[in-house]
């Protein structure tokens, strides 16, 4: 494995402003791979995707064989608008078996959700044991948009950092391996992507005028992201910042992070809970159709 | 489009016993495609998959743009054990964006589910508007295994045919386009696949000794399938029988059936509900980051 997880992990001394959204940490040098880095990364993604699919199947099989084994993987994706959350789901989660995925998008809370605490809807959306969950936005919105757009007073969102850390400790105890990823794009790249959505009629549906209003709050969002990541990157549930101006690097890096998390789970195909030799006999000697 | 839907559709005079599980209805002749049919069908699946993904995106976009538009697609998969339901989900649903899929597997009903009528759990599992649902087994189990293994008296399962037809009419009225597919394998092919699962330790988890017990009931299951399909293939919700001994034919045919259903929905990308020119100006003249 590469050192991608180390390079992208939010640790002591972290400063979001020091991360280059166009960077490609951990990517081998061009002279080593002897081809265009984009081509190389896209090819690698196919191989990483096949490995992810195998790990996912072992996880699924493990839960089926042993109902007491509660392990599951949960990818949490956060990003500014146009940051590439949907694209990452399609390209990275899309390499796995859709039957073993549990993908949930979180929009503005509904009236029902607002009657509960901010973690209520998150609890209900957790993947079952054996599955790979993906959160497209998450409980972190409650310390991001809620803070920036002043949807709750400071004492409320400040108290959520330790609440989130406690919650994620609880998840870890319940068998959930968390992979928390911020897809980090630049202000200029967001502009390019918004303009692209306006040029292509098959992309109009992705565009919302509110996205432009939000650009006025860019620095406040960056500060909110910095604080959330700095406060809530723990040993059990680290945050990773993936430079995301280049989509091919983004997908390659997220696939790496997921594979790294899977490998930490030491998954294997479960042994037979029957006697294969005896079963072969039963089938071969079994009744015929007539 | 090909005539695959016509060829596979359950209509008047249907006899399940007359369908060859190793057949390849609608596949062009070898001399036309100038290559091995398996290779050809696998290549075609890539193209069909790309078309399915586009249709799925248009469906998703339509629901997002107009909350009153309740349309969605639901693929119902039924088959004998080893019939290829899981493989079909992986290969055909796997060509689409996992974020727009809603896949539900139905096992033996739980204690809670048994306290309700047989359609209760089905109602709760329906895809939301804009999504593509896949049922891996379905309400049809209640006229298949329930009949064959005598889990309910005859008058009960007999009364379910009209109940199912009423239910599916209700679904159609609610915007659900149903694609009901029986993957049809032979008794011999089931034996080959069971033995293969016993040869490969990475497949042990898919094997259950109960599958062999079920083989003793093969003729009764075929009769139950025949009756269910004959009674519940309606204009609004037709049944298709896909010969499934050849996996490459199976995937190609199911992709065809889904694409046919999508095309009947006449989907398009929704128009902009904003003024693209004005939005471009707002972005270009907008605040800068500093």
- Please state, in angstroms and as integers, the Cα–Cα distance from residue A31 to each residue in A27, A28, A35, A36, A37, following that order: 11, 8, 8, 9, 10
Task: Provide the pLDDT for residue A288.
Answer: 54
Give me the residue from B65, B96, B269 closest to A202, CB to CB. Answer: B269
Q: Which of B82, B220, B212 is nearest to B151 (CA)?
A: B220
Residue-wise pLDDT for B144-169, tens only, equals: 999 999 999 999 999 999 999 999 99
- Please state, in angstroms and as integers, the Cα–Cα distance from residue B159 to each residue in A216, B154, B163, B164, following that order: 62, 8, 7, 9
Asked if A99's CB is within 8 angstroms of B204's CB, the reply is no
A17: left (phi over 0), alpha (psi -120 to 50) or beta: alpha
Question: What ipTM is given for this predicted complex?
Answer: 0.93
Q: Is residue A228 a contact partner of residue A138, using CB atoms and an 8 Å limit? A: no
Largest CA distance in chain B: 75
Chain A neighbors of B219, CB-CB under 8 A: 289-290
Confidence class for position B123, pLDDT limits 50, 70, 90 = very high
Domain chopping of chain A, boundaries: 4-285
Task: Provide the pLDDT for residue B33.
Answer: 81
Task: Provide the pLDDT for residue A182.
Answer: 98
Confidence class for position B287, pLDDT limits 50, 70, 90 = low
Helix, strand, coil percentages (3-state) for chain B, rounded to 5, are 55, 10, 35
Chain A neighbors of B288, CB-CB under 8 A: 187
- Encode burial over B112-139: b for 16+ CB neighbours within 10 A, e otherwise: ebeeeebbebbeebbbebbbbbbbbbbb
Across B217-226, average pLDDT: 98
Compute how many other C-beta atoms are within 10 angstroms of the C-beta atom of residue B110.
9
Asked if A97's CB is within 8 angstroms of B207's CB, the reply is no
Across B176-204, average pLDDT: 97
**Mean pLDDT score of chain B, rounded to an integer?**
96
- Please state, in angstroms and as integers, the Cα–Cα distance from residue B110 to each residue in A274, B102, B116, following that order: 24, 21, 10
Residue B245 has pLDDT above 90, yes or no: yes
Chain A neighbors of B272, CB-CB under 8 A: 201, 204, 207
Residue A29 has pLDDT above 90, yes or no: no
**Residue B46 to chain A, least CA–CA distance (Å):** 14
**Residue B277 to chain A, least CA–CA distance (Å):** 8
Task: Provide the pLDDT for residue A151.
Answer: 97
Asked if B218's CB is within 8 angstroms of A289's CB, the reply is yes
Task: Provide the pLDDT for residue B290.
Answer: 44
Task: Provide the pLDDT for residue A2.
Answer: 72
| C-alpha triplet B8, B12, B13: angle, nearest 5° | 90
Q: Which residue's structure tokens are 């000697």?
A: A285
Task: Provide the pLDDT for residue B288.
Answer: 54
Per cent of chain A over pLDDT 90 is 94
Confidence class for position A287, pLDDT limits 50, 70, 90 = low
Confidence class for position A290, pLDDT limits 50, 70, 90 = very low
Distance CA B171, CA B177 (A): 8
CATH T-level topology, domain B4-285: Rossmann fold (3.40.50)
Select the residue from B279, B282, B284, B290 to test the A interface by mutation, using most A Cβ atoms within 10 A: B279
Sign of the CA dihedral running B251, B252, B257, B258: positive
**Residue B89 to chain A, least CA–CA distance (Å):** 7
Select the residue from B51, B96, B205 to test the A interface by mutation, using most A Cβ atoms within 10 A: B205
Give me the residue from A97, A270, A282 closest to B94, CB to CB. Answer: A97
* Residue B75 DSSP class: E
């Amino acid at each position: 494995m590469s050192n991608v997880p180390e390079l992208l992990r939010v640790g002591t001394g972290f400063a979001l402003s020091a991360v280059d959204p166009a960077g490609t940490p951990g990517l081998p040098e061009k002279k080593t791979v002897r081809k265009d880095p984009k081509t190389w990364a896209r090819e690698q993604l196919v191989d990483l995707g096949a490995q992810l699919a195998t790990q996912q199947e072992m996880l699924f099989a493990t839960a089926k064989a042993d109902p007491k084994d509660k392990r599951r993987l949960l990818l949490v994706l956060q990003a500014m608008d146009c940051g590439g959350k949907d694209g990452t789901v399609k390209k990275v989660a899309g390499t796995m078996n859709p039957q073993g995925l549990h993908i949930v998008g979180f929009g503005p809370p509904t009236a029902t959700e607002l009657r509960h605490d901010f973690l209520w809807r998150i609890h209900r959306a957790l993947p079952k044991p054996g599955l790979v969950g993906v959160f497209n936005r998450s409980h972190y919105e409650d310390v991001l948009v809620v803070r920036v757009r002043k949807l709750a007073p400071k004492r409320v969102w400040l108290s959520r950092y330790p609440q989130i850390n406690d919650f994620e400790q609880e998840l870890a105890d319940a068998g959930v391996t968390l992979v928390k990823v911020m897809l980090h794009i630049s202000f200029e790249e967001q502009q390019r992507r918004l303009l692209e959505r306006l040029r292509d009629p098959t992309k109009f549906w992705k565009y919302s005028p509110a996205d432009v209003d939000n650009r006025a709050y860019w620095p406040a969002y960056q500060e909110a992201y910095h604080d959330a990541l700095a406060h809530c990157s723990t040993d059990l549930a680290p945050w990773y910042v993936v430079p995301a101006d280049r989509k091919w690097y983004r997908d390659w890096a997220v696939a790496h992070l997921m594979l790294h998390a899977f490998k930490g789970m030491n998954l294997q195909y479960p042994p037979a809970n029957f006697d294969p030799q005896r079963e072969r006999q039963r089938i071969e000697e079994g009744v015929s159709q007539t």
